Structure 1
């Protein structure tokens, strides 16, 4: 149990305040950074614990991550993490942003040598700040939820 506490505490030294949430773009960049941190910690825990326990810890910490960026009651997709994270603020570039009232869509591209995924971050403004509704992987076939 003592080994689990640093994982949870280290991962969520993330700020719980609304700084970085005042524009759709800043929220997206903040989410990318926190997602990358979560992914990297999940990999460390995965290598240090039995797979069932590691998955439980990763799911618990992902729920906490989502609670920072989504409205109460949001139910996310099943988690996935790996050596090549889906989001990284140093590599994933914002390619467009559009605000329509209290809704926004921020499109990003994550350039990679073999495949450059496009993501659409769908946001809603509520209670004076932006929240994620969903993050879609976008390709020629459609939009695939991934949050």
Structure 2
């Protein structure tokens, strides 16, 4: 798991280990959460360091959960390693969605710009146009 020590990553590592998965928890600092099972392997990994992710994958993995894929370079990194990754689960952000009036994370500071999303938020919810301009569009 990439981004294992973030808010969602910590919980996901704990849940996967509890379900019997062999988990390698990667983060830039290499730390571990005290709530993780003793069998969780914590490693330091900076995915932006040339070749680091490929080296960490070794011969490959069944599933790669990526909490920190933020841009096109990260997407290209994953597709470049696709032959060594059985399945990839790439976590996104609520910032990619827009409501029925086109309001999104990026418009929330404008007058009447705060988005109103349905609850629960369906996978079919409209998203902002992709691009490099903001966190939500990346």
The structure that has the greater radius of gyration is 2
Q: Which structure has the highest strand share of the two?
A: 1
Please state which band the TM-score falls in when normalised by the shorter chain: under 0.3
- TM-score, normalization by structure 2: 0.24
- TM-score, normalization by structure 1: 0.23
